[in-house]
Structure 1
Amino acid sequence: MTEKPRQSLAGLWNLSFGFFGIQIGFALQNANMSRIFQSLGESLDKLSVLWIAAPLTGLIVQPIIGHYSDRTWTRLGRRRPYFLAGAVLAGIALFAMPESPAIWFAAMMLWMLDASLNVSMEPFRAFVGDQLRRDQHTAGYAVQTAFIGAGAVVGSIFPYLLAHLGVANETAGGGVPDTVRYSFWFGGAALVAAVLWTVFTTREFTPEEMASFGDEADASHLVTPQPAKLSFGLWTGVGALVLIVVSTLALERELYLLGALLIAYDGCKLAAHLMAKRGNTDNVLSHIVGDFAGMPPIMKRLALVQFFTWSALFIMWIYTTPVVAQYVYGTTDTASAAYNEGGNWVGVLFAIYNGVAAVAALAILPALSRRIGKARTHIVCLLCGAAGFASFFVIRDPNWLIASEIGIGIAWASILAMPYAILASSLPQRKLGIYMGLFNIFIVVPQLLVATVMGSIMKAFFPTEPIWTMAFAAAVMALAALAMLRVRAAETELEQA
């Protein structure tokens, strides 16, 4: 058995540079989609419904792509065909998005964009784990996080820069301004170019080489945990109860999606069970259900952390623009110059927290994790994020919001690096793709909950006061830090084993 070669700084750069482009696309989406929807005439309480497309596509796409990327060997490699195809499709969506003639077209493009970005992103996570030795996982994901932060800075700040260069930042009678339109076009080109850089400057290990490293053993990665012992009916009952409550209390219709997803999960388990009884276990559904049931304990504990963490982040992406426009710039008129100025400043704020993340990923995370461990590092960083969200309640000067973003940026750096470094060092390498895809479920589910529930909460309790969404974000980020204590205990057990 041999060892994977140690990657130089140039090697780490090439492995992750494609994520620079992918994150430009995500940043443009996160900072501008609420603005585009509102510019096309959508109301504040409906924004979360339109954002359902993004997490729902991730929920479906990432486990499937992870499953197949574990089993793909082509002349282009194992993971590269997927993130190249995803980049091309995402580039097309970015070019089409700002030309949306109506809400329905913008929502459709958001669905296509997010699906394509997920097709690219999941294999990239596994790609870094494939190519690196275990002692370089933290460094590898830290470099990836730095590129994510840098790409997000570029994507977030571009409309602001264009406005200062004299490009029109508002459109007579409403509509998507030129600053946003040109930014999306630039982002599409940059995304494809960055991914092509990684495709042409790297090579993937062959199946034989992976076997020599001890990461693959013949076709053992095709073995799937049997789903025969899975129980059925619990989630169907919970889902049915949700549907009854929504119908009886006449709640928002988007909550029907939550009940339907719970029932669908039970249906997938039952279908996998029936196929297993007939001897058919070598299919994508059985593999995904079986691997989900057989997740390692440390991954299950990290799942709860991810649930709280990404609930806070999704609240931030949806509601920061309305919050800043109303409480800092004093307007709720989406056609006003003040609203668009606030929207541009949110782009700057998002650029700042991503820039902080890029610096923290290289300057803070590796040193801090060596000193206090990965789990404790993540706890400290999550608490910085909770403080950043809470500060929105007391800050009314746009410049002082930079301090809020510094705390959020430190948390963001850790969110993008520490959980994946912990997983990559703890999971079987032969199933890294499927487990990274399944891990995304715990990013997507909280986003779906926020998208389906937060609109109803806002409408019922504070229809004109979106600032309270930041209270939710601060609270759940603090809960994520608390949940990391269980991960720290599991990490200690692994080190002692």
Structure 2
Amino acid sequence: MTNFQRKPKLSFWSIFNMSFGFLGIQFGFALQGGFMSRIFQTLGASQDSIPALWIAAPLTGLLVQPIIGYLSDRTWNVRWGRRKPFFLIGAVLSTITLFFLPNSPVLWVAAGCLWVLDASINITMEPFRALVADKLPDSQRSYGFVMQTLIIGIGTWVASNLPWLINQLGVSNEALPGVVPLSVKIAFGIGGVVFLLSVLYTIFTTSEYPPDDLEEFKKENEESKGLVKGMKEIGNSIGRMPKTMKLLGVIQFFSWFAFFAMWSLATPALTTHVFNAPAPVETAFDLTNEISKASFMQANKAYNDAADLVGSYMGMYGLSSMAFALLLTFYAAKKRINRKYIHMASLIAGGLGFISMYFIENPQNLICSFILIGISWGSILSMPYAMLSSAINPKKMGIYMGIFNMFIVIPQIIAATGGLNYLYQAIFGEAVINAMLLAGTSLIIGGLANFLITDQKVISHQAEDTEVLS
């Protein structure tokens, strides 16, 4: 496409095809988010050490995403395009790691695998975000990001229920001390296969637009070639970050702090507070004594049953986000939406969902909590990116999407390095369920922070059928 040429509106199936790879990405994220804490506890991690073990996820995102965004902005191949080579590399690495991770023999190996898995998922995910902005006119970007959220919701729900479903089919969720149950291992293997196949589907069904001016593109790449110049460009882009992007960063900070609290501590919090089935500590039992060993196995069985159900209930936030995204998809395809107020209301709903967990006595009522959380998740995965894409230079879409990830990973790093444990214990008390109260409070603050967004083009964009590239 030459400069000032128009981006045509794409059909439903074109947008679906370019978004389908997110099904696999979310299988990876949902299995990681729903079951890594369980794996850590099975391998001997204490409750308070779990957030620190999770630091791999945000740190790899902080390092990987801006670099991948920068590299994908500079990539063009007639056969493979701009973003698709990164889809493939990340998918292959993620699939291999998903097979290996639940078979980790000791805790440090599992923690190392989490570093590799998260880096690999990030290699795939960031270019997928940029692809929507590359391919769609501004008037369809809300629709495109919501479509991604719809597919993410399906992936979250299915992947979160996999260990429970596999157990229902007759595969045991029990194992010896320090061994991850077979049902979890099979779920991760299935996740690896789905990850690769879904990304390959997008690669083979989606084309990409070439750079506006290919000769100019090659010239600019040659002039800015080299590691030092690359790091300088990333630094300069951070320094020239648009005001709206910074304001969205405030909202992202509180949103992702809340979800990190859920991913890292929901399993110990809910198995203990709601199910009254905490993970048994192996050193508290004399496993050479048959009676003591039987008591450990009984407690371990209760914990694994509870953890299966926590994962299954957690899948409801994926199903809820899917339903919410489906409604937004139909609406955004026809009418203008107010991104700001939709995001605000959604985050507040999610905050109330987290807070409600503290008061639940019947585990089935967790479904309602996760439905509310799913509404906020559906918005988090679409509205900020739709607003951001209307505020940044299209030529730097990849690098800015990567830099935007800083506002996702910094709150998670703060949480993982002690902030989460300190804040929930200092504000609400030492019981781990109080981490969910902190998550709810954080999400509500994030919702109210939407009042900071004032740019009308970002809040609610309505365009002609095609957009002029600038």
- TM-score scaled by length of structure 1: 0.83
Q: Distance in 1 between matches of 2:146 and 2:179?
A: 39
1:439-492 Cα distance to aligned partner (Å, 9 max, x none): 000000000011012234567788851011011111111110111111145657
> How has the CA–CA distance of structure 1 residues 66 and 371 changed in structure 2, closer, same or farther, with 3 Å as cutoff?
closer
Counterpart check, 1:20 vs 2:30:
no
> How has the CA–CA distance of structure 1 residues 425 and 217 changed in structure 2, closer, same or farther, with 3 Å as cutoff?
farther
Counterpart check, 1:318 vs 2:264:
yes
Counterpart check, 1:361 vs 2:361:
no
Mean Cα deviation higher: 306-315 or 331-340: 331-340
1:309-359 Cα distance to aligned partner (Å, 9 max, x none): 000000011111111111111122345222111111121122111011111
| Secondary structure class of the residue paired with 1:172 | coil
1:350-409 Cα distance to aligned partner (Å, 9 max, x none): 211101111111214663895661111100111110110110111111111111111100
Within 5 Å, give how 1:10-409 maps onto structure 2: 10-74=13-77, 75-207=79-211, 210-211=212-213, 218=217, 283-334=229-280, 336-364=300-328, 367=331, 370=335, 373-409=338-374
1:472 is matched with which residue?
438
1:395-441 Cα distance to aligned partner (Å, 9 max, x none): 11111111111110000000000011111122111000000000000
Contact 2:234 2:399 in 1 (8 A): yes
1:30-65 Cα distance to aligned partner (Å, 9 max, x none): 000000000011110100111001110000000000
Q: Distance in 2 between matches of 1:490 and 1:363?
A: 23
Q: Distance in 2 between matches of 1:492 and 1:53?
A: 33
| Secondary structure class of the residue paired with 1:399 | helix
Contact 1:376 1:488 in 2 (8 A): no
Counterpart check, 1:424 vs 2:389:
yes
Q: Distance in 1 between matches of 2:405 and 2:275?
A: 36
Q: Distance in 1 between matches of 2:424 and 2:244?
A: 35
Q: 1:415 aligns with which of 350, 365, 380?
A: 380
Counterpart check, 1:484 vs 2:445:
no
Q: Distance in 2 between matches of 1:422 and 1:355?
A: 24
Q: How many residues align?
A: 438
Deviation at 1:173, TM superposition (A): 2.6
Q: Distance in 2 between matches of 1:462 and 1:430?
A: 46
Q: Distance in 2 between matches of 1:93 and 1:448?
A: 22
Contact 1:298 1:490 in 2 (8 A): no
Deviation at 1:172, TM superposition (A): 2.5
> How has the CA–CA distance of structure 1 residues 488 and 316 changed in structure 2, closer, same or farther, with 3 Å as cutoff?
farther
Contact 2:388 2:458 in 1 (8 A): no
| Secondary structure class of the residue paired with 1:77 | coil
Could you tell me which amino acid in structure 1 is paired with residue 434 of structure 2? W
Contact 1:72 1:78 in 2 (8 A): yes
Could you tell me which amino acid in structure 2 is paired with residue 466 of structure 1? V
1:448 is matched with which residue?
413
Contact 1:365 1:377 in 2 (8 A): no
Contact 1:66 1:433 in 2 (8 A): yes
Counterpart check, 1:9 vs 2:12:
yes
Q: Distance in 2 between matches of 1:491 and 1:415?
A: 19
Contact 2:391 2:458 in 1 (8 A): no
Q: Distance in 2 between matches of 1:56 and 1:479?
A: 24
Could you tell me which amino acid in structure 2 is paired with residue 344 of structure 1? D
Could you tell me which amino acid in structure 2 is paired with residue 43 of structure 1? S
Contact 2:390 2:457 in 1 (8 A): no
Could you tell me which amino acid in structure 2 is paired with residue 291 of structure 1? S
1:268 is matched with which residue?
none
| Secondary structure class of the residue paired with 1:400 | helix
Q: Distance in 1 between matches of 2:429 and 2:105?
A: 28
Mean Cα deviation higher: 316-325 or 1-10: 1-10
Q: Distance in 2 between matches of 1:145 and 1:220?
A: 37
> How has the CA–CA distance of structure 1 residues 183 and 368 changed in structure 2, closer, same or farther, with 3 Å as cutoff?
same
Task: List 4+ stretches of structure 1 deviating above 4 A.
Answer: 216-224, 368-372, 456-464, 489-496
Could you tell me which amino acid in structure 2 is paired with residue 302 of structure 1? L
Percent identical among aligned pairs is 44
Q: Distance in 2 between matches of 1:349 and 1:20?
A: 19
CA RMSD of aligned residues (A): 2.6
Contact 2:338 2:459 in 1 (8 A): no
| Secondary structure class of the residue paired with 2:364 | coil
> How has the CA–CA distance of structure 1 residues 180 and 423 changed in structure 2, closer, same or farther, with 3 Å as cutoff?
same
Deviation at 1:494, TM superposition (A): 9.3
Contact 1:78 1:204 in 2 (8 A): yes
Q: Distance in 2 between matches of 1:417 and 1:290?
A: 26
Could you tell me which amino acid in structure 2 is paired with residue 425 of structure 1? S
Mean Cα deviation higher: 111-120 or 392-401: 392-401
Q: Distance in 2 between matches of 1:90 and 1:28?
A: 12
